[in-house]
Chains A and B, each alone.
Chain A
Amino acid sequence: MDFLQPALDGFSVVLEPTNLLYCLLGVTIGMLIGVLPGLGPAATIAILLPLTYGVEPVTAIIMLAGIFYGAQYGGTITSVLLRLPGEASSVVTVFDGYMMAKQGRAGTALGIAAIGSFVGGTVAIIGLTFLAPLVAGFALDFGPPEYTALALLGILLVATISNGNKSKALIAACFGLLLATVGRDIFTGGERFTFGNVNLADGIDFVPVAMGLFGLGEILHNLEERHRAAKAPAKVSNVWPSGADLRQASGSIGRGSVLGFFLGILPGGGATISSMAAYAMEKKRAKRPERFGRGAVEGVAGPETANNAAATSSFIPLLTLGIPANATMALMFGALLIQGVTPGPQLVQQEPELFWGVVNSMYIGNILLLIMSIPLIGVFVRILRVRAAILGPITALITLLGAYTINNSMFDVTLVVLFGAIGYLMKKYGFEPGPLVLAFVLGSLLESNLRRSLLVFEGDVTGFFARPISATLLLLFLLVAALPLIQSALRRRRTRGTSPEGMPAEDSDRTSVKENA
């Protein structure tokens, strides 16, 4: 039980007034952007990165984490009341949540979702508390070869699990790695891709890239997307669910917590996938599956619990291995690097205040969110009346002026605008910006570990396969890389053999809302 002591000490970090304030700020912003369709949590975190420069690392991450899981709560509100999912992770909530609202049970749906989110989040934090030190302890023996393999696997998984075209996602990841090489080579001092520009000699900062690709790129894309006019929703009453509803939903909340927790840990997993998986699981398990889509409480409780559990547990790979599991975690990674903290297995021991401070802030954040999402729901619904035409320029200006404040340089602003255009074009041509940012953030870590390993192995690449952990990870890498080829070969054989079926499975889980997780 010794390890619990630093965990308990973490609470004193969270309860410092500054940290509490930033936690409240984070979850409120998260809730707001969750309610507003358009900007997702990744874009918001990217835009607000400059805000974290002036504060302590732990405070910064507490706020950013709050935005992430706060958005999971907020996205539910519009799904239930207006059938407009505020976030990709709340898409499936629409099916039963909106039907419940139509039957006059909007309050029940929102209440169940809030309670489910709270339970899911809390279960995941407890899991995180016990699992993270174990994983970190295991990873303490990792050397450069293991890190090389882990980073490669992480990038590959994020690229292949993204819902778009896999080879395009991998190409984007390669460009992320290339962008990371711009500047002076740390080993030899030689300049790479600087084209004689002094501003590029120290490399490209992570913040302008993320702000451009995620933030400005999404703002530009929103301009041409006509958002449906949000009608003021009916008044929500009776938010507290009845005992019968709670009993009916309790099983789904329990299953959603566990499912979300595990799917969140997987690289490329995250809130969106787990909410969909939870919905599918609840429907499959139900005695009368026909109730789903007609206002089944379980259809709201399961996904909403799972997406929050996943949002929380996706911090595990980041904080214990230093490998971000999805684009949002890549932003957290970047934010920590800016603060001079390199996430990895040493974090738990070297920076226990940071580690446990962030973990424990999630308890507080979840309580704050529960308070905000049940009694204060009406306030957030009113936010929907703010028109997109007014919000657009405000977020654009926050991004541009925020980018300037990082280094007081116009060059950064120029980079943000440039990457904004690139991000927009990537979206239009089906290249996902997520893998690029993730690879960019892992680029220098991957390169330096690879070069160190090769130094140890005296240039012999097969050395990676002589060490059990790196060998396993690389084999896994090869397996994941080969899987799509095998699958398509199988599919081709099947379509040739029988009637041209087997197509719709992949298309049906594509949704119209952008991927944010």
Chain B
Amino acid sequence: MKQSRTDEQTSVGDVLLDDAAAADELTPEQLAAQWEAEEPPPAGPLASMGSTLVVTALAGAAAVLSLGMGLGTPQQPDPGMWPFVVSVVAVVLCLAQLFLGRRGGDGEQFSRQSLLTVYGFLTFVGMVLLMPVIGFEIPSLVLCFVWMKFLGGETWRSATLYSVLVVVAFYAIFILGLGTSIPHLF
């Protein structure tokens, strides 16, 4: 998948161009409809229910934890009173959503493209773990390179060139220019 991304992109570009030519005559309503069709498909009822269940559990847990902090009276509330009220409201809303669930806000289905987001997130985690140990330069360089080459489909040459440039620029701005105390190796 990674190697073929550049080819894939050009072909998608061409298709879009054809689309654009064909779509030139569309009325605003048709154009809006076309945009809607290009949107990722909604996540569906199962995902909606699952996510709401998770959120309900979170709200329920918050309610239990707030109970543990003590409620007190409305006039002299203990720390738990306000979070308890809010989490109970949240639970009620969640249950309403579960059983009466309205249209709209369906979210988006996960696709193969979502893997890119997972990889992107992993580079963030790596950055958080490595930055305090070996400074920001090498993790940033790796992050840039991974994003440009593997997630963005740039060529080896431009990915290397731009990642180095970006890290040098950040070093110049954050360390030399602003004198921040971001952990750095050099």
Counting residue pairs across A and B whose Cβ atoms lie within 8 Å, the total is 233
Q: Convert B116-142 into 0s and 1s, putting 1 for each residue whose CB lies closer than 8 angstroms to a CB of A.
A: 110011001101100110001000100
Interface string of B131-159 (1 = CB under 8 A from A): 11000100010011001100111100010
How many B residues have CB within 8 A of the partner chain? 91
Closest to A169 in B: B105
Contact of B43 among A428, A455, A512 (CB under 8 A): A428
B107 touching A427 by the CB < 8 A rule? yes
Q: Is the CB of B83 within 8 A of A405?
A: no
**Complex CA distance for A429 and B20, rounded to whole angstroms:** 30
Give chain A interface residues in 165-181, CB to chain B under 8 Å.
Answer: 165-171, 174-175, 177-178, 181
Task: Assess the A174–B87 pair: CB atoms within 8 A.
Answer: yes
- Distance between A81 CB and nearest chain B CB, rounded to angstroms: 12
- Residue-wise, chain A 227-251 has the 8 Å CB interface mask toward B (1 for contact) of 0110100000000000000000000
Closest A residue, CB atoms, query B13? A229
Residue of A nearest to B94 (CB): A171
- Given A192-B69, A401-B170, A424-B117 in contact, is the A167-B43 Cβ separation under 8 Å? no
Q: Are B79 and A164 in contact (CB under 8 A)?
A: no
A417 lies within 8 A of B124 (CB): yes
Interface residues of A in 394-429 (CB under 8 A from B): 394, 396-397, 400-401, 404-405, 408, 410, 413-414, 417, 420-421, 424-425, 427-429
Given A224-B113, A454-B75, A393 contacting B166 (CB threshold 8 A): yes
Asked if A226 and B113 sit within 8 Å, CB to CB, the answer is yes
Kindly specify which of A255-263, A465-473, A503-511 makes contact with the partner chain.
Answer: A503-511
Contact with A along B69-87 (1 / 0, CB 8 A): 1100111111110110011
Q: Is A482 an interface residue (CB 8 A)?
A: no
Given contacts A393-B144, A488-B102, A508-B32, contact A102 B24 (CB under 8 A): yes
Contacts of A396 in B (CB 8 A): 120, 124, 143, 147
> What is the chain A residue whose CB lies nearest that of B151?
A223
B125 x A417 contact (CB < 8 A) = yes
Asked whether any CB of chain A lies closer than 8 Å to the CB of B181, the reply is yes
Number of interface residues of A (CB under 8 A): 85
Indicate with 1 or 0, residue by residue over B37-61, a CB within 8 angstroms of chain A CB atoms. 0110011000110011001001100
Contact, CB under 8 Å: B113 / A174 = no
Residues on the A chain within 8 Å of B32, using CB: 508, 511
Instruction: Write the chain A residue with the least CB distance to B111.
Output: A224
Closest B residue, CB atoms, query A219: B120
Given contacts A392-B152, A427-B107, contact A404 B182 (CB under 8 A): yes
Question: Do A511 and B17 have beta carbons less than 8 Å apart?
Answer: no
Stretch from A58-66, A203-211, A369-377, A383-391 that touches the partner: A383-391
Q: Which residues of A contact B (CB under 8 A)?
A: 83, 92, 94-95, 102, 163-171, 174-175, 177-178, 181, 185, 187-188, 190-193, 216, 219-221, 223-226, 228-229, 231, 292-293, 387-390, 392-394, 396-397, 400-401, 404-405, 408, 410, 413-414, 417, 420-421, 424-425, 427-432, 447, 450-451, 454-455, 458-461, 484, 488, 506-508, 510-513
